[in-house]
């Protein structure tokens, strides 16, 4: 019996929570009722037997628990009346009968999209958005969220309690936004998923260079989001970007096995990666999705970044990479999202396509940008380019600049080793 309950994965739990949150407009009530329904299952299933659809049973039980609370608490009842869901209570809730009767409902609708929008609401801080999305959409426990975001559990408990209070006080709707707001709001949701992945992919602090659980979680959320939005016919234009985001994450994740050096956990640059280690399954899926995203109307920054990742994924080796194509794609990306990091990507690609002398000229032209001066990859790109031009003292200076910027320890080790190599060249 506990085995059955354990098999009700956190996706199902999150779906139940989402349905209740949307119906009752209250996250706390939804959480408590879901919890109570699981508790009821533990006591009643041994006598009644496990229902045919445990998820449907739990959802019905949770709804009844929530309605009980609503009937008891007049404050909530007033709130619900305002939300015009009184009609839902009208057909005598008692006639819901025993939740076990509800097993006829086989297909349980997934209403997590509304929660996605609420958790990634622009009225919330970005830290809150990331934590809430992991907690309520991904269905992680508070302790798991704390672990994934490298925050003490008590800190995360407080953050989530405060964030839930803010959702309630501000009146953040637990609903899918109206059509005219959808594109902008969807971009916010995608940003949270992307941030989760990026945070897991390269930790800016801490020991581990890569956080498996967070990147896996982000890909899972990107899949859920794409599937959920796919069901909403009104957002066709946005779907190419959702496809692009998933493709980008898969193609980036595919390189992960080759990205760190086993024993030391040091990062391996793209040029030195063993491409045999790349995850073929992710590449095949990612390439197909990237192609679909690029061909669809409304292709934007994620579709373009997925296309760049696809060019890398298709290349036999670093040297055989179609750098001209990558430079063109960075040019397209710059039209959507102008910024120093995109210009850096384009400069590196052009340098690869036309030689290190061109690369140095382009990189030096970006040197005045204060954001890039604080950006490790910029100094690393300059160091590598100068090294290729046999300007070892310039390369050593660039590595030192990179090391002066705070980063994770694994990367520090890698940069220190690279600097040692250059100093060896200088002595030799």
Partner 1 sequence: MKYALLLMGHVNDPACGEEGGASPEEFFAFDQEITAAGVVVSSFALEDPDQAVTVGSNAQGERIVSSGPFAEVQEFVGGGYIIDVANIDEAIQWARKSPASAAGGHVEIRPVAPY
427 three-class SS: helix
260 three-class SS: strand
The radius of gyration of the chain from alpha carbons, rounded to an integer in Å, stands at: 25
DSSP string, 216-251: HHHHHHHHHHHHHHHT-GGGHHHHHHHHHHHHHHHH
Q: How far is the CB of 298 from partner 1 (least distance, A)?
A: 23
Q: How far is the CB of 121 from partner 1 (least distance, A)?
A: 8
Residue with tokens 């971009």: 187
Residue with tokens 């990306």: 333
CB of 28 closer than 8 Å to CB of 73: no
Q: Choose between 121 and 135: whose C-beta lies nearer to partner 1.
A: 121
Q: Choose between 47 and 84: whose C-beta lies nearer to partner 1.
A: 84
138 by Cβ neighbours in 10 Å (0-12 / 13-18 / 19+) ranks as buried
Q: How far is the CB of 265 from partner 1 (least distance, A)?
A: 44
Q: How far is the CB of 65 from partner 1 (least distance, A)?
A: 25
Q: How far apart are CA 65 and CA 60, in angstroms?
A: 9
Please give the residue ranges that form the binding site for partner 1 (CB under 8 A): 121-123, 169-173, 177-178, 181
Distances (CA, A) of 311 to 252, 308, 320, 362, 425: 12, 5, 10, 22, 33
Q: In sequence order, which ranges of 318-391 are alpha helices (DSSP H)? A: 323-336, 340-354, 356-365, 370-373, 376-388
Q: Choose between 87 and 106: whose C-beta lies nearer to partner 1.
A: 87
Q: Choose between 93 and 173: whose C-beta lies nearer to partner 1.
A: 173
Residue 394 token pair: 């310039």
Q: How far is the CB of 142 from partner 1 (least distance, A)?
A: 25
Q: Choose between 3 and 84: whose C-beta lies nearer to partner 1.
A: 84
Q: Choose between 122 and 230: whose C-beta lies nearer to partner 1.
A: 122
Q: How far is the CB of 122 from partner 1 (least distance, A)?
A: 8
Q: Choose between 94 and 180: whose C-beta lies nearer to partner 1.
A: 180
Q: How far is the CB of 171 from partner 1 (least distance, A)?
A: 4
């Amino acid at each position: 019996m506990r085995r059955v309950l354990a098999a009700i994965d956190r996706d199902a739990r999150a779906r139940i929570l989402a349905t209740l949150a949307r119906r009752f407009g209250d996250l706390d009530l939804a959480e408590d009722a879901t919890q109570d329904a699981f508790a009821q299952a533990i006591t009643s299933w041994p006598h009644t037997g496990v229902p045919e659809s445990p998820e449907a049973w739990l959802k019905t039980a949770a709804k009844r628990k929530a309605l009980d609370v609503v009937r008891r608490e007049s404050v909530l009842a007033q709130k619900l009346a305002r939300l015009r869901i009184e009609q839902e209570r009208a057909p005598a809730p008692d006639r819901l009968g025993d939740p076990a009767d509800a097993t006829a409902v086989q297909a349980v609708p997934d209403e997590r999209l509304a929660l996605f929008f609420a958790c990634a609401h622009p009225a919330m801080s970005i830290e809150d958005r990331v934590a809430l999305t992991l907690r309520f959409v991904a269905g992680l426990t508070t302790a798991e969220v704390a672990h994934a975001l490298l925050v003490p559990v008590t800190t995360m408990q407080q953050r989530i309690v405060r964030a839930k209070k803010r959702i309630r006080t501000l009146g953040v709707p637990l609903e899918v936004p109206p059509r005219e707001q959808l594109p902008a709001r969807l971009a916010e949701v995608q940003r949270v998923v992307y941030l989760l992945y990026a945070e897991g992919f390269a930790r800016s602090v801490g020991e581990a260079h890569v956080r498996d659980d967070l990147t896996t979680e982000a890909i899972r959320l990107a899949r859920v989001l794409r599937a959920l939005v796919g069901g909403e016919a009104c957002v066709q234009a946005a779907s190419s970007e959702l496809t692009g985001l998933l493709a980008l994450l898969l193609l980036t994740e595919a390189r992960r096995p080759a990205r760190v050096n086993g024993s030391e956990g040091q990062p391996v640059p793209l040029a030195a990666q063993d491409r045999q280690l790349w995850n073929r399954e992710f590449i095949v899926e990612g390439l197909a999705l990237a192609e679909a995203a690029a061909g669809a109307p409304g292709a934007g920054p994620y579709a373009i970044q997925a296309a760049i990742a696809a060019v890398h994924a298709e290349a036999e080796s670093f040297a055989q990479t179609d750098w001209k194509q990558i430079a063109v794609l960075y040019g397209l990306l710059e039209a959507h999202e102008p910024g120093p990091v995109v210009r850096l990507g384009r400069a590196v690609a052009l340098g690869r396509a036309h030689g290190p002398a061109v690369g140095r000229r382009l990189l030096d032209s970006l040197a005045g940008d204060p954001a890039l001066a604080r950006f490790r990859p910029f100094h690393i790109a300059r160091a590598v380019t100068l090294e290729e031009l046999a300007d070892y003292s310039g390369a050593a200076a660039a590595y030192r600049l990179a090391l002066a910027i705070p980063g994770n320890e694994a990367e520090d080790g890698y940069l220190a080793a690279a600097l040692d190599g250059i100093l060896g060249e200088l002595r030799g």
